[in-house]
Structure 1
Amino acid sequence: MILLITRTYFPDGTNGKLEYEGKFICNTIELPWKNNETKVSCIPERKYFIKKRYSKKFQWHLEIINVKNRSLILFHPANNALRELNGCIAPVTKLSGPGLGLMSRKAFAKLKELVYKALDKGESIELIVKS
Structure 2
Amino acid sequence: MILVLTRIYFPEGTQGMLEWNGTLVCYTIELPWLGNQRRISCIPEGDFVLKKRYSAKFGWHLHVIHVPGRDLILIHPANDAKKELLGCIAPVTKHTGIGKGNSSRIALKKLKAVVYAALERNEVVKISIQPACFKQV
How high is the TM-score relative to the length of structure 1?
0.99
Pairwise CA distance, 1:56: 1.0
Per-residue CA deviations over 1:9-45 (Å, capped at 9, x if unaligned) read: 0111000000000001110000000000000000000
Question: Aligned letter for 2:24?
Answer: F
Point out where structure 2 has 5 or more consecutive residues left out of the alignment.
Answer: 132-137
Q: How many residues align?
A: 131
* Distance in structure 2 (CA, Å) of the matches to 1:32 and 1:87: 9
Which residue matches 1:46?
46
> How big is the shift at 1:119?
0.3
Deviation sequence 1:58-115 (CA, Å, 0-9, x none): 1111000000111110000000000000000000000011100011010000001110
What corresponds to 1:82 in structure 2?
A: 82
CA distance in 2, matches of 1:27, 1:91: 6
Separation (CA, whole Å) in 1 of partners of 2:69 and 2:3: 22
Corresponding residue SS for 1:62: strand
* Distance in 2 of aligned mates of 1:54 and 1:80: 21
**Superposition CA RMSD, Å:** 0.5
Gaps of 5+ in 1: none
Q: 2 CA distance for matches of 1:34 and 1:42?
A: 7
2:22 counterpart residue number: 22
Q: Which has the larger radius of gyration?
A: 2
Deviation beyond 4 Å, 4+ runs, structure 1: none
TM-score (norm 2): 0.94
